[in-house]
Structure formats: structure tokens, C-alpha cells
Amino acid sequence: MGGVSKRKSKGNNRAARHERATRRWPDQIRADLDDGERARVLREEQPVDFDKPALGQFYCVECDRHFESGATLDRHSATKKHRRRVKELLDSPPYTQKEAEAAAGMGAVDTGIRGADME
């Protein structure tokens, strides 16, 4: 028996999985930005979260990121990465459920009878 127990790094990517599960999608962010009140609440009324940098009090809505301080957040807002992100969000219209269904090949419920003459 050889049994040097090689432990697989189980659960090592737990944080990554959590990140993926809680990450907000661009269309969600876009919806928040379109609704000024929601964006304001996200910016200013972040719940205290001990798992996040600075208890989650410095948040960039566009990038869905938390920062250590107001200064880092300010600095972040001036970065190319952030500005590109903002531009992307504004340029790309949010996905709709209809689009998602169309992409999955199950759209066109709204066009009425199939084969009806098109204009």
C-alpha cells in the first residue's frame, strides 16, 4: 500500500464560486443605473458587510466592486478600466428576456401566426 494521502485542494475555490454566484450581471447593473434611486442607494446605503473591504461602504456600482476607502474609490473612478466599464454599460442596451429567448431559439411568440405574410 502506498498511501501518501495527497489531499486535493477541496473547497479552495469556494471564494471564486461565491464571487460568481453573487456577481451582478451587466444588465442588472444597467437597470440599477437607469433607475437613479437604486443607483444612489447602492452607492450610499451599502449594508455593513464584514466580508467586504471597509465593511462594504465604498462601492462602485458600475464595476460591482468594493474599495478600502473613499480615496481608493475616487482613484478607481478615474481609471481607464472604470471609465471603459461605464462606457460599455451605457453603450450596450440591456438584454431583455425576449432577446434571451430569441438567442436560445425560442423567440417569435409575439409575431403571431407563422407563415403569415410579412410586410
What is the SS3 assignment for 102? helix
What is the SS3 assignment for 54? helix
Nearest distance from C-beta of residue 46 to Zn ion, angstroms: 14
Q: Which lies closer to Zn ion via its Cβ, residue 72 or residue 107?
A: 72
Q: Please give the residue ranges that form the binding site for Zn ion (CB under 5 A).
A: 60, 62-63, 82
Write out the E strands in the chain: 58-60, 65-67
Q: Which lies closer to Zn ion via its Cβ, residue 77 or residue 107?
A: 77
DSSP code of 105? T
What is the SS3 assignment for 28? helix
Nearest distance from C-beta of residue 103 to Zn ion, angstroms: 28
Nearest distance from C-beta of residue 56 to Zn ion, angstroms: 15
